[in-house]
Amino acid sequence: MSGVALALVVVASSIHAGWNLLTKRATNRLAFLWLVLGAGLLLYAPAAAAVALRDPPVARGFLFVCVSGMVHAAYYYSLSRMYRYDFSLTYPTARGSSPVWVTVFSLLLLREPLTGWGLAGIGLVVAGIAALQIQVVPGGAVRWPVAEVLRGPAGRLALTTGAVIACYSLVDKAGVALINPVLYIWCSHLVAFTFWSLSMRRRWDAVEAELRQGRKAVLAAAAGQNLAYILVLFAMRLAPVAYVVPAREMSTLIGAVFGVCLLREPFPASKLGGALLIVSGVVLIALLG
């Protein structure tokens, strides 16, 4: 994985963790995310139009745009269902499983050249995300809530969501080879927003309330969400998607740091161990992948 691709992913991960922190503070996260997607379309429309004029897209690239938009809509649907369970456990499980899905699909479908060290790095990142969820309860006993989640419907939903993340990552890898990432993600989000809006018709009260309470947060998250993924898409042009996706999970580590520094969440030894595993995995991918 090149240094440029790694730098793009690290910056994107920092931005991703930032706008996710804004989402975590929202009153109604589903309404907030829908507003973020719509606001992003407005904010980035001039840039998308300028790119379309300067760098005309390949027509068949819009097939990937449509598929990506529909898969992103499915992702947001899965996300909305995960809110019914403990989101602090289901979301990391989904994000942590996605590198595994991407690696399998990448080897089988894209035939990307992955080294043994690169695969080891992917494994370390996944292990690190899992370790971040380990808890030490009073009395010194160790508890891993993710194991409990995986045994129930919440776990199956989280793993399905991880597979959906892998699907749009693979589709986007192929799509940005044909269309500039700025225009690509704008068109993909337009398709996703259109489909997702159909399920938001019964939630207008929540949408209006969220808009009144957090308009600035919506705009900041919209700018960050799009910029972060645009950087990831540019990285996908430079490196195998099986390396980009796990390296992108640096955002999980950065999010944990934000939680400790800004939300005063505890930072036990398990989180430190998980952080070291993630960093080690990313270093392996960057240097030997």
pLDDT score recorded for residue 38: 94
pLDDT score recorded for residue 149: 59
pLDDT score recorded for residue 97: 80
pLDDT score recorded for residue 152: 72
Structure tokens at 74: 């499915």
pLDDT score recorded for residue 264: 66
Please tell me the distance from the alpha carbon of residue 207 to that of residue 135, in angstroms, as a whole number. Answer: 35
| Terminal Cα-to-Cα distance of the chain (whole angstroms) | 6
User: Domain total for the chain?
Assistant: 1
50-91 pLDDT, tens digit each: 999 999 999 999 999 999 999 998 888 887 777 677 666 677
List the domain range (segments joined by +) for residue 142. Answer: 3-288
Radius of gyration of the chain (CA): 18
pLDDT score recorded for residue 40: 96
pTM, 2 dp: 0.82
Instruction: Give the C-alpha distances (Å, rounded to integers) separating 273 from 276, 278, 280, 285.
Output: 5, 9, 10, 18
| Weakly modelled stretches of the chain, pLDDT under 50 | none
Instruction: Give the C-alpha distances (Å, rounded to integers) separating 98 from 24, 121, 165, 253.
Output: 21, 14, 6, 16
pLDDT score recorded for residue 87: 63
Please tell me the distance from the alpha carbon of residue 220 to that of residue 282, in angstroms, as a whole number. Answer: 28
Say if CB 125 and CB 277 are below 8 A apart: yes
Say if CB 99 and CB 245 are below 8 A apart: yes
